[in-house]
Amino acid sequence: MLSVAEKSRRRFLEETPLGRTRRARKIHRILADTYPTAHAELDHRDAFELLVATVLSAQTTDVRVNSVTPALFAAYPDAGALAAATREDVEEIIRPTGFYRAKARSIVGLAQSLVDEFGGEVPNSLEQLVTLPGVGRKTANVVLGNVFDVPGLTIDTHFARLAQRFLWTDSDTADRIEKDVAALFPRKDWTMLSHRVIWHGRRICHARTPACGACPISALCPAFGTGELDERKARKLLRFELAEDAGAGGKTDGGSRVDSGRAHGSTKADGPARTDAPTRADGSVSGNARTNEEDTR
Ligand code: SF4
């Protein structure tokens, strides 16, 4: 007998390209409704800060990066200051983000390149951004989309996983995933699509145990059944890594609500976050949805 996951997958294997595009856009509409406040979760005030924070976010959580950047940018408020920094001093500040020696070398080198090549300013084109040390397409697209309003897809670990689960791509390379997904959506949607998919990956569609039984897009997902199907158990898996000011939730097609408020350093970097309100019988989730530590990156 076929498993639920296998049945779900088979339903979509014969999908036409047009059907896939329609399904993809419907998923995006539901995610937009589910996460009305989706945004870049790395705290920043300008392109320089977002660029540095994105480099620091490799192999760690945004929460952890947000815990060190206030001190970092207080000490080094611009590229010129960071370029002149002593690496050991930078290492001390960013140590909680892990790989701090390599990251310190990276961001000081990045700042030096900004000073040497771009007059201390962050360039606003993909071609120029990717010439900076440690900056690839993902980081460049984060900066372009969130600071310069240039649409871009951010193919991070969450986005890649979900794009594969949704059968938006059959590739596991970032460049190919970006190309496949770009073909499904209008360019203007790319930045917000990235935020919403990443939020879904962080909050519901986790790497190890997706909360399928509490997922607003379950009817459209070829990977439905990969995770927990029991709704009550699935709700316990919901995670709100950065959400403290619960209440900004959005409606979903299935009646679920996902609180998705902004947080600014509200959660501690050394442990799982919790929301405050209880799960309701009407399908709304306004809290006490305990978070877990699985794949919080
Ligand atoms: S949680 Fe389950 S149903 Fe929802 S998107 Fe992920 S795999 Fe699909």
Taking alpha carbons only, the member of 191, 233, 266 closest to residue 32 is 191
Residue 60 CA to ligand 1 centre (angstroms):
23
Ligand 1 touching residue 165 (CB < 6 A): yes
CA distances from 124 to 135, 142, 230, 236, 277 (A): 13, 11, 47, 42, 41
CA distances from 81 to 74, 111, 114, 120, 122 (A): 10, 8, 11, 10, 14
The residue whose CA has the least distance to atom 2 of ligand 1 is 212
pLDDT beyond 70 at 297: no
CATH of the domain at 108: 1.10.340.30
> Which of the residues 43, 62, 156, 259 is marked catalytic?
156
* Residue 296 located in a structural domain: no
Ligand 1 touching residue 235 (CB < 6 A): no
Q: For residues 165 and 170, what is the distance between their CA atoms, to the nearest angstrom?
A: 9
| 119 and 172 co-located in one domain | no
Q: For residues 182 and 189, what is the distance between their CA atoms, to the nearest angstrom?
A: 9
Please give the helix or strand (H or E) that residue 257 lies within, else none.
strand 257-258
Task: Examine the residue annotation and report whether 138 is marked as an active-site residue of this protein.
Answer: yes
- Residue list, annotated binding site: 205, 212, 215, 221
Ligand 1 touching residue 60 (CB < 6 A): no
Chain centroid offset of residue 164 CA: 15
* Residue 292 located in a structural domain: no
Q: With beta carbons less than 8 A apart as the criterion, state whether 68 and 96 touch.
A: yes
Q: For residues 241 and 253, what is the distance between their CA atoms, to the nearest angstrom?
A: 23
pLDDT tens per residue across span 33-88: 999 999 999 999 999 999 999 999 998 999 999 999 999 999 999 999 999 999 99
| pTM beyond cutoff 0.75 | yes
| 206 and 279 co-located in one domain | yes
Residue % of the chain over a pLDDT of 70: 80
The residue whose CA has the least distance to atom 6 of ligand 1 is 205
Please choose from 27, 164, 196, 226 the residue to mutate so as to test ligand 1's pocket, defined by most ligand atoms within 8 A of CB. 226
Average pLDDT over the chain, rounded to whole?
83
Q: With beta carbons less than 8 A apart as the criterion, state whether 192 and 142 touch.
A: no
Ligand 1 nearest atom to the CA of residue 211, by list position: 1
Please give the helix or strand (H or E) that residue 222 lies within, else none.
none
Structure confidence at residue 240 as a pLDDT band (50, 70, 90): low
Ligand 1 touching residue 158 (CB < 6 A): no
Q: For residues 28 and 34, what is the distance between their CA atoms, to the nearest angstrom?
A: 10
> What confidence score (pLDDT) does residue 295 get?
33
Number of structural domains (the chain) is 2
* Residue 294 located in a structural domain: no
Residues 38, 252, 209: CA angle, nearest 5 degrees: 75
* Residue 272 located in a structural domain: yes
> Which of the residues 43, 103, 138, 259 is marked catalytic?
138
| 225 and 185 co-located in one domain | yes
Task: Examine the residue annotation and report whether 268 is marked as an active-site residue of this protein.
Answer: no
Q: Which residues contact 107 (CB under 8 A, 6 or more apart)?
A: 52, 55, 56, 82, 90, 94, 134
* Residue 291 located in a structural domain: no
pLDDT beyond 80 at 251: no
Choose one of 120, 147, 174: the last residue of a domain: 147
Q: What strands lie across the sheet with 257-258, from one edge to the other? A: 250-251, 257-258, 284-285
Q: For residues 216 and 201, what is the distance between their CA atoms, to the nearest angstrom?
A: 13
CATH of the domain at 195: 1.10.1670.10
Structure confidence at residue 153 as a pLDDT band (50, 70, 90): very high
Ligand 1 nearest atom to the CA of residue 223, by list position: 7
Structure confidence at residue 2 as a pLDDT band (50, 70, 90): confident
| 51 and 13 co-located in one domain | no
Phi first, then psi, for residue 129 (nearest 5°) are -60, -40
Long-range contacts of 67-75 (CB under 8 A, 24+ apart): 67/96, 67/265, 67/268, 67/269, 68/93, 68/94, 68/95, 68/96, 68/97, 69/42, 69/43, 69/44, 70/43, 70/265, 73/45, 73/49
Q: With beta carbons less than 8 A apart as the criterion, state whether 194 and 202 touch.
A: no
Residue range of the domain that includes 206: 4-34+156-285
* Residue 42 located in a structural domain: no
Choose one of 109, 130, 147: the last residue of a domain: 147
Choose one of 86, 120, 147: the last residue of a domain: 147
Chain centroid offset of residue 297 CA: 8
Ligand 1 nearest atom to the CA of residue 218, by list position: 3
pLDDT beyond 70 at 207: yes
> What confidence score (pLDDT) does residue 159 get?
97
What is the DSSP code (8-state) at residue 44? Answer: -
Q: Quick one: the chain helix, strand, coil %, rounded to 5?
A: 50, 5, 45
pLDDT beyond 70 at 221: yes
- Residue list, annotated binding site for [4Fe-4S] cluster: 205, 212, 215, 221
